[in-house]
Chain A
Amino acid sequence: MTRSTPNSGAGSVVQRTVLVPSAVLLTTLVVIWAATGAGYFWPMWAALGLAIPAGLWLAIRWARLQPRGASRRYAMQASISLVLVLTDVLVWAMSGGGYFWPIFPFIGLAGALAVHRAFLRPGQRSLQLRVDELARTRSGVLDVQASELRRIERDLHDGAQARLVALSMQLGRAEERLADQPETAALVRQAREEATAAIRELRDLARGIAPPVLADRGLVAAVESLASRSTANVEVVGEIDQRLPPVVEIAAYFVVAESLTNVVKHAPGASARVTLSLDGAMLVVEVADNGPGGADPAGGGLTGLKQRVEALDGRLEIHTVANEGTVVWAVLPFE
């Protein structure tokens, strides 16, 4: 049920659909070239043709690793320009050198980059710096909050809860010794039951902060635990083999928890499928059910989730189709 193969799927798809056919094609061309007298090495032009899209693909992948916003757009333009200039230089070299005409497209593309950079005017640039700083400090605040909540949970566990457990145990022992004084024994039993109720309330409170299994075993185990508690039939597909920042794990956990609660509440009898996967530096969470659909994205629970996810620069979408089901989809970036 739990697979641990992050992103290897994408790699093998590229290998299967692009790399292998390309290698076969080039080998074939070289064989034809050799068989037809091995004259001018024309297969290099086919290799160039294949190298251009590969270069662009790599350039775009690299640029997408940059922080979102203006700097990513700038990186995108710069990396694509670099690929185009390299292509021109290769074409120049492969066509026998001579007059270095690639200088002109180079000047043109460099000029366009300079214009782009100039458009990040001083004001805009300081705004960008301010946005970066706010994003950084906000995520710092959220990290602090997550670890503070975790500390409170531990303090409850080791402090008040532990003392109440010891108290209720002593009351239980006292009750045993009062077998010959039923009225006093009844008082002690009441006190013990009150202590037990307080323990239960503290436990619910602690669980609302973050379930221990999330901190202990990580997101996939915590979601499997949720699934096994749910009265709905829930399948979990977890493709994560690393620990994520606590604040991201907690947000993802509550997305799943709230979504499964909604499945039980609004789609009784439906089954659900929870998918957790990594896409680069993004955690993707999807909870799909085959219930009657008709979820209200403006409902209180879903609005709260959306805010929680957006506070982490993530996105949450709800797709609901009558008689077919509902999909809650969230993507959470992590560093």
Chain B
Amino acid sequence: MGSAAVRVVIVEDQALLREGIVALLAENGIEVVAQAEDGPGLQRIVDGHRPDLAICDVRLPPTFTDEGIRAALEARRRHPELAVLVLSQYVEPVYTGELLASGESGVGYLLKERVSEVRTFVESVKRVAGGGTALDREVVSALIADRGRSGSDAELGALTARERETLELIAQGRTNAAIAREMVVTLGAVEKHVTNIFAKLDLPAGDDDHRRVLAVLTYLRATGGK
């Protein structure tokens, strides 16, 4: 995330929440350049303002179903560089999967109440705007159970056998020390494998736990149905 100010648009039909988020972001140096209340409004302000990031609710007028997801996917189709952060009152793996599959730019899916953890929320907003990923811990646990999907094996194909083995152990929740014991190698060797895995899978920067979880996600999504 560069030093240039992050420009954000918000689409949320609940005025109280929308204005609260605008104020909260302003207090933390993030400029909200436009607001809207429904799916068509999202297209309009994204086309008009070319923001770095669109924050949107899932359930929006006029349909009050998954309007927000459909609008976000459409906006990303038209502006592939647009980062999207979806806020929802419920976790839905189907929608998360669609968002993650919708492009290379930043993606987030957070439960709405995470806005109350102000600092973490602001970090998530900046990370997604900068091209990173922010998935709610409940989204992650729902996706970890996701073994029924099939996906491309291209990313995993780039891993060596040892790196693949390391990734499997990470997926099982092992620590580096435990992986070193299991594979009968030094701790330094494991750390080198981990670094290589993250580079080859092109995972966004973040703290170590976050990177590990994303590695797990990619692994599970790509090897699902095995």
Interface, chain A (partner B; CB < 8 A):
1, 154, 157-158, 161-166, 168-173, 175-176, 192, 195-196, 199-200, 203, 206-207, 211-213, 215-217, 221, 224-225, 227-231, 233-236
Contact = CB atoms under 8 A, between A and B. Distances in A.
A291 B103 CA distance: 39
Contact of B94 (A162, A192, A224): A224
Contacts of B59: 157, 212
Interface stretch (B3-11, B113-121, B158-166, B201-209): B113-121
Given A154-B64, A212-B59, A235-B225, A173 B118 contact: yes
Given A216-B66, A228-B148, A236-B148, A195 B116 contact: yes
Contact of A213 (B14, B92, B115, B143): B92
Given A221-B94, A225-B94, A228-B146, A161 B89 contact: yes
A157 B147 CA distance: 30
B94 A172 contact: no
**Which A-B residue pairs are the 3 nearest by beta carbons?**
A172-B116, A168-B116, A216-B65
B90 A203 contact: yes
Q: Interface range on chain B: under 10, 10 to 19, 20 to 34, or 35 or more? A: 35 or more
Contacts of A175: 118
A229 B148 CA distance: 9
A227 B148 contact: yes
B92 A225 contact: yes
B101 interface: no
Nearest to B57: A162
A23 to B, nearest CB: 41
Contacts of B89: 157, 161-162, 165, 199, 203, 206
Given A168-B113, A233-B148, A162 B14 contact: yes
Interface of B: 14, 16-17, 20-21, 23-24, 27, 58-59, 64-66, 89-90, 92-95, 97, 112-113, 115-119, 121, 142-143, 145-150, 225
Among A1, A225, A228, the one with the most B-chain Cβ atoms within 10 Å of its Cβ is A228
Contacts of A234: 147-148
Contact of A192 (B64, B65, B95, B116): B116
